[in-house]
Chain A
């Protein structure tokens, strides 16, 4: 019973943290665009939080740069359980055009576990919406 209540509450209001792990900003503005009136993720109870300690879902964009790697792991560890990671964009999936660059690991899953991948360069806000809904359906 209690477990069902917890699951229900998690489903209803996932708070997200936007993490830029070295992206070119395109996915980041599309994430913000998904939260603003045209697409309005907030109507699904999604709220953008500024600190990892308040967040349930980390929405990360970008190939992981060497300088950010330790920070990303730290941010992941600071996020309370249960936590989910959404890799937004081709960079967070595999490195996109930066694949092979000397300062890039290429893909978020090289550093932290990822639950949902959303393809696109950059991802369209509707795709982000779809990704978040898919994530909620797995709970």
Chain B
């Protein structure tokens, strides 16, 4: 006998509003469905009303965890449209913040994974150590979460000698702690027993369902924009793309811890190689008509921004494809044939960032419990009907 269980949008297992429908037979999940749109704010539409420089700050607020990812992805594209080249020092500082952000995001995820697995000590440990990287980010940029360090044509704040030393010191502590987590993550028997074999996604499935980021890497797909399409400077530093063949939540944990270790390596190389010179160039306000696709390896996977310029100060269109959206199809496959008790763990394992992914225009309205998905044709029909039944308005000022 099948039952349908709705989870969310406000649910103990979820940190952000999303709704999951599960059809279960006993304890086993037979099918899963995701309902989106609770966090849809209309960022893309809003971006059309703001200038390029304002849009940096808007893009930053697409997501709070990978805020630098979105702003960097946007700035990369916008710089191509505006035909400016940021100076090397600016580029290095920009990607230093990127890598530190990856560290903070992965440490955050590790804590959440520990919490979902019932290992709250691990949660407290990782979040305590995450404060070190938050302090570093605050020293570099002036803010803990929305760094606002990017600007068109470079970055806004420079790094000096004492700060460099502080970052080195912080990274040394973090590396030691991360190695300890790697030991726990791969050898602590209860933790491993809880994570191993949960949420399986084979290599073939990961490729078919277009999984990105650590979700794909844990299934043995070495997919990393930093290596595949080295933007700006990633071909100047040495690092490895971490993969794992475990294909389960344990694999995703190990991949993330190892990726953090790789990030420390990149950060140290950046600081050693940091070139002298200016940190930003002046940028024009208007972009020539054109379009650009910008790719960026966010902590959760590949982030894509598509910008169309129309010759004014504002972009004609901004399209954001966040990595979480790419992982939704894979999540449903992972949930299938799993147990209900594993839902939070599996769902957390893709590191869902719902506010990133809420770009859907097709809305599911859930007023008064009744749920309907409107298709575009339905909406048009409704709108036409509404217009027909409206009383004729006299003396309406023509909006010119």
Contacts and interface: CB of A to CB of B under 8 A. Distances in A.
Interface string B208-243: 000000000000000000000000000000000000
Nearest to A39: B131
B16 A51 contact: no
Interface in A86-123: 96-98, 100-104, 121-122
Contacts of B63: 24-26
16 contacts: A24-B62, A25-B64, A27-B64, A28-B64, A36-B123, A36-B128, A50-B13, A67-B37, A70-B368, A71-B38, A96-B61, A100-B46, A100-B49, A101-B43, A121-B146, A122-B64
Interface stretch (A6-14, A15-23, A130-138): A15-23
Contact of B12 (A50, A96, A97): A50
Contact of B124 (A22, A36, A52): A36
Given A51-B12, A68-B39, 12 more contacts: A23-B39, A24-B64, A25-B353, A50-B11, A65-B41, A68-B9, A71-B17, A75-B10, A103-B41, A103-B42, A104-B41, A122-B145
Contact of B43 (A29, A62, A98): A98
B41 A26 contact: no
Contacts of A62: 39
A37 B128 contact: yes
A97 B17 contact: no
A26 B46 contact: no
State which size class the interface on A falls in: 35 or more
Contacts of B17: 20-22, 67-68, 71
A33 interface: yes
B145 A28 contact: no
B139 interface: no
Contacts of A121: 61, 146
B58 A65 contact: no
A69 to B, nearest CB: 9
B38 A30 contact: no
Nearest to A90: B61
A121 B67 CA distance: 12
